[in-house]
Amino acid sequence: MTASEKAHALLDGIRKLDDEWARAIGGLGEPELRAPSALPGWSRAHVLAHVARNADGLQNLLVWANTGVETQMYPGAEARERDIEAGAERPAADLLADFVASAGRFEQYAAAMPDDAWAREARNRQGAPVTGAVVARMRLSELTIHLADLDRGYDLDRVLALLGPLTEDVVQHAVTSRGAHLPALHLATDGFAWTMGSAPKTTVRGSAGELLAWLSGRSDGVALEGDVPRLPAWA
């Protein structure tokens, strides 16, 4: 599969999850937005503000890949945190409108990307090279994980069930992000498997959602089978 073909498959998943997000947040008012999310210290409003700014940041990386002009994801770590806090303080109607608008901007820009741009590179927040197609995978991963974080009746298995074969891409993104902290092992779930290191002697098995929850720091892996290593906090 070419980078363009992969990207367009990922964009289909992004559009599907954007629609699911719209259903999940459509009825939220002030009390629901100020209520705690599943992320310690963050309200639902914080989650929405973060995912909205993520859309803008990842669109910046698409601009970089598309044009070759360096366009950082965020102005800096402190600015990113300030934008999330400021967004979380906005009135409910403004926050919801901003969330929907940012998702729409990302979709619109991505839909207009020329096929050859998806194989070109930008650099993520850590300075690592990422292709345009990987940027699309990053967005799909954010939408997946934070929909469960919203604490509106979604767990990760429910969200991943919406994505079908794109489940592999979302879990792969978490595996890649955690690579330096994973020992040699096999990860296995129904229909998908990953191998870390050479000649691993142990297998960790569970549902795709359980694996993703562990890899992303949402669980300690108690629901998984096998010798599950302890991972550091998700950065």
Q: What is the pLDDT along the chain (235 residues), one digit of tens a residue?
A: 899 999 999 999 999 999 999 999 998 999 999 999 999 999 999 999 999 999 999 999 999 999 999 999 888 778 788 989 998 999 999 999 999 999 999 999 999 999 999 999 999 988 899 999 999 999 999 999 999 999 999 999 999 999 999 999 999 999 998 877 788 899 999 889 998 888 788 899 999 999 999 999 999 999 999 999 888 776 5
pTM over 0.85: yes
Q: How far from 12 is each of 18, 19, 139, CA to CA, in Å?
A: 10, 11, 12
| Tokens standing for residue 199 | 């000649």
Kindly report the backbone phi and psi dihedral angles of residue 129, in degrees, each rounded to the nearest multiple of 5, phi listed first: -70, 135
Q: Give CA–CA dist 133/131, Å, rounded.
A: 5
Query: Cα 144 vs. chain centroid, distance in angstroms?
Result: 6
